[in-house]
Amino acid sequence: MPISRIGPGPALYRGRFAPSPTGPLHLGSLVAALGSYLDARTHNGIWLLRMEDIDPPRIQPGAASAILRSLEAHGFTWDEAIVWQSQRQAAYAEALARLRQTERVYACTCSRKDISRNARLGADGPVYPGTCRRHQHQSPHAAFRFFAPNAPIAFTDRLQGRVVCDLGRDLGDFVLRRADGVYSYQLAVVVDDAAQGITHIVRGSDLLVSTPRQIALQKALGLTTPTYLHLPVLLDAAGDKLSKQTLAAPLNNADPLPALLMAMRFLGQSDSHPPATLSEFWPWATARWSPHRLPRWRGAPLHAPTTPHSLSYP
Ligand code: GLU
Ligand code: ZN
């Protein structure tokens, strides 16, 4: 049975912004919101919001409503009802059950310690060594892992170009549901992007390492793969991604224009006549948006010169 759709039928362009409510919106998340929004609007597309409130220990009370207030104060408008991942357990359970039927999944009882003792380091932390692959554990306290496919996963990112990933070697069998019953980000995103009919994903390059896992799941579930554009992410002075964890300053809802202009400049979309008011900002930004101008780096500090394609990656 296909994943049931939320909302109306197919559109040519359906994009989304999918924040995790682990803290208020900051300049780094504004860059991703703005990039996905302008790309959707300039394609006459639909733009949706999804609240990724799936991982209870990481969620901060009040953060989801703070994010929504901030988006509104900055002039974002979204189409259709917000999807809350905390209410989508049944859909994730169904997808996991389908994958289990096709024997793409196995139960894993390894502790974090077991794994770090035996694993080598891959693209996103330790690569699970496959210890439980043949055990067929029945424990109710097991995690579920997806067998990484043997064939490489390849896709062409609209900005980063061709990406090829050997999942088995670089990332290993990944978790679909943790031992505490929480569904993984990888599974939830794939199920929800399909349910919301997302055709174009524009998000930060910090998630580029997740995309091959998501494509592998889409294939296993018989879902269409959307197109991807992974934007540069804003780095702090130490070279780390600006994030709620690094306590990036929240946006100032009382004065939204400076942050929006900074985000446009960071994305290489500015010109010599920036608008003076929020209401002038949106038509200007929509007219200005051109993915060809995006700098191709994956991460940069705010005041890096934003000459397009001045850095290239293999
Ligand atoms: N919720 C994820 C985050 O805040 C983004 C998910 C996505 O865009 O796929 O990092
Ligand atoms: Zn295991």
Q: What is the CATH number of the domain that holds 55?
A: 3.40.50.620
pLDDT of residue 214: 98
Last residue of a domain, one of 116, 148, 177: 177
Q: Are residues 76 and 209 in the same domain?
A: yes
Atom of ligand 1 at shortest range from CA of 52: 1
Nearest ligand to the C-alpha atom of residue 145: 2
pLDDT of residue 309: 41
CA of 138 to the centre of ligand 2 (A): 12
pLDDT of residue 313: 34
Nearest ligand to the C-alpha atom of residue 108: 2
pLDDT of residue 236: 78
Last residue of a domain, one of 147, 177, 207: 177
Q: Is 16 in the pocket of ligand 1 (CB under 6 A)?
A: no
Q: Place 137 in a pLDDT band, splitting at 50, 70 and 90.
A: confident
CA of 113 to the centre of ligand 2 (A): 11
Q: Is 18 in the pocket of ligand 1 (CB under 6 A)?
A: yes
pLDDT of residue 8: 58
Q: Domain limits at 274? A: 14-88+191-293
Q: Is 64 in the pocket of ligand 1 (CB under 6 A)?
A: no
Q: Are residues 40 and 58 in the same domain?
A: yes
Q: Report how far residue 144's alpha carbon sits from residue 290's, in angstroms, rounded to the nearest whole number.
A: 42
Query: Residues 24-57: pLDDT tens digits?
Result: 999 999 999 999 999 999 999 999 999 999 988 8
Q: Distances in Å between the alpha carbon of 92 and those of 35, 50, 96, 149, 226?
A: 28, 15, 6, 21, 19
Q: How many domains does the chain have?
A: 2
Q: Is 19 in the pocket of ligand 1 (CB under 6 A)?
A: yes
Q: Is 20 in the pocket of ligand 1 (CB under 6 A)?
A: yes
Last residue of a domain, one of 126, 148, 177: 177
Mean pLDDT of the chain: 90
pLDDT of residue 57: 83
Query: Residues 205-254: pLDDT tens digits?
Result: 999 999 999 999 999 999 999 999 999 998 877 777 776 555 578 999 99
Sign of CA pseudo-dihedral 39, 226, 152, 204: positive
